[in-house]
């Protein structure tokens, strides 16, 4: 089995040392580099080719949000897991919208952080539907109405079945759970998810979930995709 290549990005050397220690104990994870600021990330990614970047949000020069946006705009970008001290934070939400595959709190037990890296390396987002809802509700104000209108325009590009799958993803269901819920095979679910990502120019399932929330799809009765 090929080891997961991991890049650590945090301005606190003690945090980096702790992360390096906990990740170094996993046989299937290889730390390929460390950075103290977001300004260093792109060059390090070019040099080390990580599968996953564990990214602090708050850094003095270039923050993790900006670094995530720059990375995820690149072709063949690595997955990004955001490190934060607050679970309902506007910057975390913006990082997720930019394409981060999820986030972990800095006080998360070490085994769960290791598991998060493993999950995103296989394309499984690290985000519960409850936390997604908290994040979306945190971003209130005038921008919310504009965002909803734009989200509804984008969702209109989906056919009925794709819309149902998008709602299920927003509810936090796995592919197997979606397949059982919508009476289709897991392979068909994966095909629908891939088509949704391509149609809406999204990076991952987290962005599908956020778009579903933005469009108000999860406020509608379940199964009302027609």
Residue 113: partners with Cβ closer than 8 Å, 6 or more residues away: 19, 22, 23, 54, 104
pLDDT, one tens digit for every residue, the chain (226 residues): 689 999 999 999 999 999 999 888 889 999 999 999 999 999 999 999 999 999 998 888 898 989 999 998 888 889 999 888 776 567 777 888 888 888 888 888 888 889 889 988 987 777 655 566 666 665 545 456 777 888 899 999 999 999 999 999 888 788 889 999 999 999 999 999 999 999 998 888 888 888 888 888 877 554 444 4
Angle at 119 between CA 187 and CA 104, to 5 degrees: 135
Angle at 65 between CA 211 and CA 210, to 5 degrees: 10
Q: Coil, strand, or helix at residue 142?
A: helix
Q: Please state whether the predicted TM-score (pTM) of the whole model is above 0.85.
A: no
| 28 touches 51 (CB < 8 A) | no
Q: Coil, strand, or helix at residue 44?
A: helix
Backbone angles phi, psi at 77, to 5 degrees: -70, 145
Q: Coil, strand, or helix at residue 140?
A: coil
Residue 10: partners with Cβ closer than 8 Å, 6 or more residues away: 16, 19, 36, 54, 56, 59, 83
Where b means 16+ CB within 10 Å and e means fewer, 189-206 reads beebbeebeeebebbbbb
Backbone angles phi, psi at 157, to 5 degrees: -75, -15
Q: DSSP states of 50-94 as a string?
A: -SEEEEES--SSS-HHHHHHHHHTSTTPPEEEEEES-SS-HHHHH
Token reading at 62 = 């270039």
């Amino acid at each position: 089995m090929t080891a997961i290549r991991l890049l650590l990005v945090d301005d606190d050397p003690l945090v980096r040392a702790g992360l390096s220690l906990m990740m170094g104990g996993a046989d299937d994870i290889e730390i390929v580099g460390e950075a103290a600021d977001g300004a260093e990330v792109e060059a390090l990614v070019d040099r080390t080719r990580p599968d996953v970047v564990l990214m602090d949000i708050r850094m003095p020069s270039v923050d993790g949000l900006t670094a995530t946006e720059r990375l995820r705009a690149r072709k063949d970008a690595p997955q990004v897991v955001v490190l934060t001290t607050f679970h309902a934070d506007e910057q975390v939400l913006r990082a997720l919208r930019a394409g981060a595959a999820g986030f972990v709190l800095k006080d998360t037990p070490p085994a769960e952080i290791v598991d998060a890296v493993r999950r995103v390396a296989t394309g499984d987002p690290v985000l519960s539907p409850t936390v997604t809802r908290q994040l979306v509700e945190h971003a209130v104000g005038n921008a919310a109405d504009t965002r909803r209108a734009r989200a509804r325009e984008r969702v209109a590009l989906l056919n009925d079945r794709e819309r149902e799958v998008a709602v299920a993803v927003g509810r936090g269901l796995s592919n197997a759970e979606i397949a059982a819920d919508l009476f289709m095979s897991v392979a068909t679910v994966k095909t629908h998810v891939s088509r949704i990502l391509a149609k809406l120019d999204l990076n991952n399932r987290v962005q599908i979930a956020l778009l579903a929330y933005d469009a108000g799809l999860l406020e509608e009765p379940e199964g009302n995709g027609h």
